[in-house]
């Protein structure tokens, strides 16, 4: 016999939602997160994670609205800022995405994934040098991060092709972050 989400306590529903979310069962996760919010409309984790799940379903604007509501409750949550950045980037709002990643990184500076995603946002803004620095920072924090290495290499290869033969190759050689 199936029990409806309304019959489960919010914390049990949240655990169910997380399990579904981690397994990639997004419709089930969304239903459970919504069940939590039906009981507790200001539940930070349910707002944040429902926003993330909706974003994974391509419902970027809805996801962004929920994460914004969550951040009104807890502005000190790095992952929520970083997830907000991802939704903003998906919506084509790269400058706002960079600002969201910056906020998340102020709270959790050792987040390699956030540095990588910030680099992607910077790259989409045409800020190649800053993007390379972000990719380098991500690789320093997580040396095996192949996505950051590949993005860096592709960016530098594209920049090298765009540089006239008579111009200095400073773009292609700019790859390390100063230790200072």
**pLDDT at position 4, please?**
53
Residue 24, token pair as written in the block? 């990639």
**pLDDT at position 128, please?**
95
Q: Could you tell me if 54 and 33 are in contact, meaning their C-beta atoms sit under 8 angstroms apart?
A: no
**pLDDT at position 51, please?**
98
Q: pLDDT in tens for each of the 180 residues of the chain?
A: 344 555 789 999 999 999 999 999 999 999 999 999 999 999 999 999 999 999 999 999 999 999 999 999 999 999 999 999 999 999 999 999 999 999 999 999 999 999 999 999 999 999 999 999 999 999 999 999 999 999 999 999 986 554 333 332 222 222 222 232
The domains of the chain, with CATH numbers, are: 1-74 (1.25.40.10)
- Model-level pTM? 0.83
| Burial (0-12, 13-18, 19+ Cβ within 10 Å), 45 | buried
Residue 86, token pair as written in the block? 């991802």
Residue among 73, 119, 163 at smallest CA distance from 51: 73
Residue for token pair 């939704």: 87
Neighbours of 140 (CB within 10 A): 16
Q: Please tell me the distance from the alpha carbon of residue 36 to that of residue 47, in angstroms, as a whole number.
A: 9
**pLDDT at position 178, please?**
29
């Amino acid at each position: 016999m199936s029990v409806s989400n309304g019959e489960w306590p919010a914390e049990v529903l949240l655990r169910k939602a997380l399990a579904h979310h981690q397994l990639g069962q997004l419709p089930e996760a969304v239903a459970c997160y919504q069940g939590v919010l039906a009981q507790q409309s200001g539940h930070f984790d349910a707002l944040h994670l429902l926003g993330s799940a909706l974003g994974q379903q391509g419902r970027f604007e809805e996801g962004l609205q929920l994460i914004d509501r969550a951040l009104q409750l807890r502005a000190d949550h790095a992952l929520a800022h970083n997830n907000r950045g991802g939704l903003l980037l998906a919506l084509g709002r790269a400058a706002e995405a960079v600002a969201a990643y910056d906020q998340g990184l102020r709270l959790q500076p050792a987040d390699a994934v956030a540095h990588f995603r910030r680099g992607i946002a910077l790259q989409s803004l045409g800020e190649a040098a800053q993007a390379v620095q972000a990719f380098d920072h991500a690789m320093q924090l997580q040396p095996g991060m192949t996505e950051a290495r590949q993005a860096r290499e592709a960016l530098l290869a594209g920049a090298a092709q765009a540089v006239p033969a008579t111009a200095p190759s400073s773009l292609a050689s700019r790859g390390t972050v100063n230790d200072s």
